[in-house]
Structure 1
């Protein structure tokens, strides 16, 4: 098994998720083990290991991903008053698949 929860579990269907928004190339869903009261993850359906490994050919996919993140962030902000949009790279990135967290509230005690 690779270190890619999103391909290995979510996109393969091995782990069911509560979808928030989906397009042909992007999926946003509620985190399976949330660290915040509202914790949504947005991922491209194509494997891209991280933001810094994007290829020029991925620019339209990145734009679609950012549009989904914008819509979800706007919905969370409208409902809860604020949100953070976070991505991790390098050692901070547990799963080596480009993903963004849309979160709000104080971190939960996990």
Structure 2
């Protein structure tokens, strides 16, 4: 996998995705290889490496991103009664592009 799956594959259109919510600056879509029964990824359309690389100038985008995460999480909770919102950093972050996972259910058996 590349360092930034989201820019190189999703945002370029090379990998088609099933959109859940889209704004001018943010995209939420069903994970292409889900780890949970419900697994939605929310990303900014502009490249930001991770949560810890955000700068003060990113505040407006971060608010929009969190609004979309909130909307998606609310939809999942309304449908399933619960969800988790996850972001990964450092070695846990496979794709070096800020993203949040909104998930429900037990992890799927990937073995």
TM-score (norm 2): 0.97
Q: Separation in 1 of the partners of 2:2 and 2:32?
A: 18
Paired residues in the alignment total 110
The corresponding residue for 1:32 is 32
Is it true that 1:52 corresponds to 2:52 in the alignment? Answer: yes
User: Which structure 2 segments of 5+ residues have no match?
Assistant: none
The corresponding residue for 1:4 is 4
TM-score (norm 1): 0.98
Q: How does 1:12-27 map to 2 (within 5 A)?
A: 12-27=12-27
1:54-74 deviation digits (Å, cap 9, x = unpaired): 011100000000000000000
Shift of 1:15: 0.1
Residue 27 of structure 1: SS of its match in structure 2? strand
Q: How does 1:54-93 map to 2 (within 5 A)?
A: 54-93=54-93
Q: Separation in 1 of the partners of 2:13 and 2:82?
A: 31
Q: Separation in 1 of the partners of 2:3 and 2:80?
A: 33
User: Which structure 1 segments of 5+ residues have no match?
Assistant: none
The corresponding residue for 2:96 is 96
Shift of 1:2: 4.5
